[in-house]
Chain A
Amino acid sequence: MNILVLVKQTPDTESKIKLNSDNTAIETGDLKYIINPYDEYAIEEAIKLSEKFAESKVTLVCLGNAAMKETTDTLRKGLAMGATDAVLIDAAGMNTACPFLTANALYQNVSQIKYDIILAGMKAVDDDYASVPTLLAGMLNIPVINAVVKLTVSPDQKNAECEREGETGREVSLTNLPAIFSAQKGLNEPRYPSLKGIMAAKKKEIINKKAEAVSPKIKIVKLSTPPPRPSGKIIKGDFPNNVKELASLLRSEAKVI
């Protein structure tokens, strides 16, 4: 089974994000990067599938700046977890602030690779658009199911049953393969790379690819930071008087009850 996993690096979720002086980009100098957390679930699921189906291959596909160490670090970590190959599409000079461009660059390369299933994180915790898997599915003309928490591929690898949190309950659906599934937290517990895996990953070649840039469809005019919340008050006094005061403030002052 040929499994592709779309991955990228993102700033650590504990990071404070600051803007540059003209509000056009974020300051990246001090940032610590991690694999996008949702992509880790996608990688884990891919490896689990490869363990279940003989002669499987897990190929990581990343659109990123090839000159940036964090990009190759992300791919090495995925390889250390157990992926077999890694493809890096160089995004240098590309406006990846538009999900269409990202999806298109992935499309140009993914359409040249044999695949039975494509996994991705349900969103990247940097731009938070959560659109690329769906846009890519449109370009490849294959089904997409987002934010899955359970995935079962049929023994003949022709279809897959999956579950996701819908509006009124858990949706169980069946889809033909190939298809794209984006991973939600709860799908699995990502493994830690083994020492053996880490050593093997260092020796693996990262396959470099390119993509033709297309015109972006959306553009960022500027960035801003949200207004800070004014600091509130700690209600002094002993229990239960403090609680009584809180209840009364919620009505008289905050007017929310």
Chain B
Amino acid sequence: MKLDSKTILLFVEHAASKVKKNTLELISAIKKAAPAAELNGVLLCVPAERAQLCKDIEKLNLKKVFVIENDSFATFSKENFALAVKAVIEKINPALSIFSHTTNSSETAKVLASRTGMAFISEAISFAAYEDGEFVAVHPMYAGKIRAHVKFENQSCGVVTLRPNVVEVCEAASGAGVDFETVAFSPAGEGAVKILNIIADASKKIDLSEADIIVAGGRGMGSKENFKVLEGLAAAINGVVGASRAAVDAGWREHHDQVGQTGKIVNPKIYIACGISGAIQHTVGMQTAKCIIAINKDPEANIFKIADYGIVGDLFQVVPELASELKKLING
């Protein structure tokens, strides 16, 4: 599929009445691969959030944004969200619909593809236009040990998701202003799947896959209680705590904290690995971090081979000291 000057629809993701950074990442990624394409957005929100969100969207490099406001969007439902995006797709027939590969939006994208039969490339880390102009999405396989360069085959339209945190945001304000168009929509009504409850997790500030700073612990932590020392460092530098499979299997952390091939693949700016040996199952999940710091008492630990900076020492000594040093820098 060649994008040329075709239409692209981008799913605008937001939280707390603000457009999320991953939406800017989507714009940056697609502008690079298809500079001539007409980039439109779709915004789903509750009526009360519309004004604030549109103010935020005006700064974005989008031509037109289709707004669907509905009270049903207060609770995430992949079927309902997909149905709403489909209403816009039927209106403008985009060659490509792009979403961030976050917990919710990836589900919306998958359901959209499955209910419409549109081709789908899941979890890309970059987009490119090949020499012949063919649109290609790079999708990591085997947890990132291999990268597959994937194209749509004989398709006139497709859906693709982009992993958050992997694309640098190039601030390119359009200056041209954004047109808004309201699209009418009737929600799906009570479907086959009913959300009964969402049990909020107060400790869960941000999903690991979207975090900028991660402090992770492994077998060397020794116990569940000992993770407090990592919580302390994370709090000092506004990070979140992650864990290796060994620490999760030992019951010290919840599974949603696990980084690695059978956990989350993360791309933070800073990854601090504490007491983690660096088994391949773990390193594939964090090796694309911008800066990796390893703290381990074993100088032979594998983790030092991929770390930008390493300290051989007792993490229970090093981590609190590092927290206080970094705090000084941040506050200084």
Binds B, one of A48-56, A60-68, A179-187, A200-208: A179-187
Chain B residue at smallest Cβ distance from A179: B192
Determine if B104 and A126 form an interchain contact, defined as CB atoms under 8 angstroms apart.
no
Q: Is A249 an interface residue (CB 8 A)?
A: yes
Chain A residue at smallest Cβ distance from B299: A234
8 Å CB contact of A244 from B114, B193, B194, B325: B325
Chain A residue at smallest Cβ distance from B191: A143
- With a cutoff of 8 Å between Cβ atoms, the chain B residues found around residue A146 in the complex are 107, 110
Nearest-neighbour CB distance to chain B for A211, whole angstroms, equals: 18
Beyond A234-B304, A247-B329, whether A173 also contacts B195 by CB under 8 A is yes
Interface residues of B in 105-153 (CB under 8 A from A): 106-107, 110-111, 113-115, 117, 119-123, 130, 134, 136, 139-153
Per-residue B-contact encoding for A88-130, CB less than 8 Å = 1, 0 else: 0000000001111000000000000000000000000111111
Beyond A137-B114, A217-B119, A243-B322, whether A232 also contacts B311 by CB under 8 A is no
What CA separation (Å) do A37 and B281 show in the bound complex? Answer: 12
Determine if B321 and A221 form an interchain contact, defined as CB atoms under 8 angstroms apart.
no
- With a cutoff of 8 Å between Cβ atoms, the chain B residues found around residue A232 in the complex are 292, 304, 306-310
Determine if A185 and B263 form an interchain contact, defined as CB atoms under 8 angstroms apart.
yes
Beyond A179-B192, A257-B237, whether A242 also contacts B325 by CB under 8 A is no
Binds B, one of A13-21, A70-78, A79-87: A13-21
Determine if A250 and B193 form an interchain contact, defined as CB atoms under 8 angstroms apart.
no
Per-residue A-contact encoding for B186-218, CB less than 8 Å = 1, 0 else: 000001111111111100100100000000000
What CA separation (Å) do A161 and B195 show in the bound complex? Answer: 10
Per-residue B-contact encoding for A220-244, CB less than 8 Å = 1, 0 else: 1111111001011111000110111
Chain B residue at smallest Cβ distance from A145: B193
Q: What's the dominant secondary structure at chain B's contact region?
A: mixed
Determine if B192 and A166 form an interchain contact, defined as CB atoms under 8 angstroms apart.
no
Nearest-neighbour CB distance to chain B for A251, whole angstroms, equals: 6
Q: Is B250 an interface residue (CB 8 A)?
A: no
Determine if A173 and B196 form an interchain contact, defined as CB atoms under 8 angstroms apart.
yes
9 intermolecular pairs with C-beta atoms under 8 Å apart: A15-B142, A135-B110, A135-B114, A138-B117, A143-B191, A146-B110, A166-B104, A168-B201, A224-B146
Q: Is A199 an interface residue (CB 8 A)?
A: no
Q: What count of chain A residues pass the 8 Å CB interface test?
A: 81
Binds A, one of B44-52, B57-65, B171-179, B254-262: B254-262
Chain A residue at smallest Cβ distance from B287: A229
Determine if B153 and A256 form an interchain contact, defined as CB atoms under 8 angstroms apart.
no
- With a cutoff of 8 Å between Cβ atoms, the chain A residues found around residue B281 in the complex are 13-14
Count contacts between A and B, CB distance < 8 Å.
Answer: 253
Q: Is B35 an interface residue (CB 8 A)?
A: no
Beyond A129-B122, A129-B139, whether A174 also contacts B196 by CB under 8 A is yes
Q: What count of chain B residues pass the 8 Å CB interface test?
A: 92
- With a cutoff of 8 Å between Cβ atoms, the chain B residues found around residue A100 in the complex are 119-120
8 Å CB contact of B154 from A176, A215, A235: A215
Q: Is B290 an interface residue (CB 8 A)?
A: yes
- With a cutoff of 8 Å between Cβ atoms, the chain A residues found around residue B184 in the complex are none
Determine if B192 and A242 form an interchain contact, defined as CB atoms under 8 angstroms apart.
no
Determine if B103 and A224 form an interchain contact, defined as CB atoms under 8 angstroms apart.
no
- With a cutoff of 8 Å between Cβ atoms, the chain B residues found around residue A14 in the complex are 279-281
Interface residues of B in 62-117 (CB under 8 A from A): 76, 102-104, 106-107, 110-111, 113-115, 117
Nearest-neighbour CB distance to chain A for B174, whole angstroms, equals: 29
- With a cutoff of 8 Å between Cβ atoms, the chain B residues found around residue A171 in the complex are 76, 195, 197-198
Q: Is A1 an interface residue (CB 8 A)?
A: no
Determine if A218 and B150 form an interchain contact, defined as CB atoms under 8 angstroms apart.
yes
What CA separation (Å) do A137 and B154 show in the bound complex? Answer: 23
Determine if A165 and B103 form an interchain contact, defined as CB atoms under 8 angstroms apart.
yes
Determine if A239 and B121 form an interchain contact, defined as CB atoms under 8 angstroms apart.
no
Chain A residue at smallest Cβ distance from B321: A243
Binds A, one of B3-11, B23-31, B223-231, B312-320: B312-320
Determine if A13 and B307 form an interchain contact, defined as CB atoms under 8 angstroms apart.
no
- With a cutoff of 8 Å between Cβ atoms, the chain A residues found around residue B263 in the complex are 185
Determine if B201 and A225 form an interchain contact, defined as CB atoms under 8 angstroms apart.
no
What CA separation (Å) do A131 and B113 show in the bound complex? Answer: 10
Determine if A125 and B311 form an interchain contact, defined as CB atoms under 8 angstroms apart.
no
- With a cutoff of 8 Å between Cβ atoms, the chain B residues found around residue A134 in the complex are 107, 110-111, 113-114
Nearest-neighbour CB distance to chain B for A153, whole angstroms, equals: 15
Determine if B120 and A131 form an interchain contact, defined as CB atoms under 8 angstroms apart.
yes
A-B CB proximity, top 8 nearest: A138-B114, A217-B119, A247-B325, A232-B308, A169-B200, A186-B255, A134-B110, A219-B153
Chain B residue at smallest Cβ distance from A129: B122
Chain A residue at smallest Cβ distance from B332: A251
